């Protein structure tokens, strides 16, 4: 029961600090789950995050469920998921009740505009961390550039990019390009 409570509280801390969606939560997840709790390595976290992005649902919820399951099985997945969702439910309920009365005030509009800038920085920080952990050789660089260019010009599901890269990783390993 202690572990389940720890999962709930750890993911509640992640949930309360995650502004701007799934990408912005990577640095917070890394600090809480990898550095503080040691429930996953940085590489495992990125793997869970990638799979969480490809599966239906919210990335934060999917990632919390994966890590919770790893730590404490099905109950762990449930408690971690409840933890990451709980702060959002409370915050959104409060904001919804209050925002309708204050949304037209210039200071409130300016505050939201500034928060969007902050979220952009958090997402950029997450991209830099992902880059450092993922692009370690020429094969990964080629995949990065190819998927980056394709994603700019083609409007297809990220699932196809992930599946393509997984297949390419297997092919590269069999060809001896990676894994040495």
Query: Which region among 18-22, 38-42, 44-48, 100-104 has the lowest average model confidence (pLDDT)?
Result: 18-22
Query: Which region among 58-62, 85-89, 113-117, 143-147 has the lowest average model confidence (pLDDT)?
Result: 58-62
**Distant-in-sequence, close-in-space partners of 85: CB < 8 Å, separation ≥ 6:** 15, 61
Chain mean pLDDT for the chain: 87
Per-residue pLDDT tens digits for 28-61: 888 899 999 999 988 888 888 888 877 777 888 8
What CA–CA distances, in Å, run from 162 to 53, 83, 127, 146? 9, 28, 16, 12
User: Which pLDDT value is given to residue 104?
Assistant: 85
User: Which pLDDT value is given to residue 19?
Assistant: 67
Neighbours of 163 (CB within 10 A): 12
User: Does residue 76 or residue 124 have the better pLDDT?
Assistant: 76
Domain ranges of the chain: 2-133, 135-180
């Amino acid at each position: 029961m202690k572990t389940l409570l720890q999962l709930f509280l750890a993911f509640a801390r992640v949930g309360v600090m995650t502004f701007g969606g799934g990408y912005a939560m990577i640095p917070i997840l890394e600090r809480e789950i990898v550095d503080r709790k040691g429930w996953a390595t940085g590489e495992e976290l990125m793997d869970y995050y990638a799979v969480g992005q490809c599966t239906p649902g919210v990335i934060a919820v999917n990632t919390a469920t994966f890590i919770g399951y790893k730590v404490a099985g099905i109950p762990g997945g449930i408690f971690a998921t409840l933890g990451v969702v709980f702060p959002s439910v409370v915050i959104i309920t409060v904001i919804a009740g209050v925002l309708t009365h204050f949304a037209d005030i210039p200071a409130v509009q300016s505050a939201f505009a500034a928060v969007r800038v902050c979220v952009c920085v958090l997402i950029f920080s997450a991209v830099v961390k992902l880059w450092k952990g993922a692009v370690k050789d020429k094969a990964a660089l080629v995949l990065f550039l190819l998927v980056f260019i394709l994603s700019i010009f083609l409007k297809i599901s990220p699932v196809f990019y992930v599946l393509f890269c997984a297949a390419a990783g297997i092919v590269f390993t069999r060809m001896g390009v990676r894994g040495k």
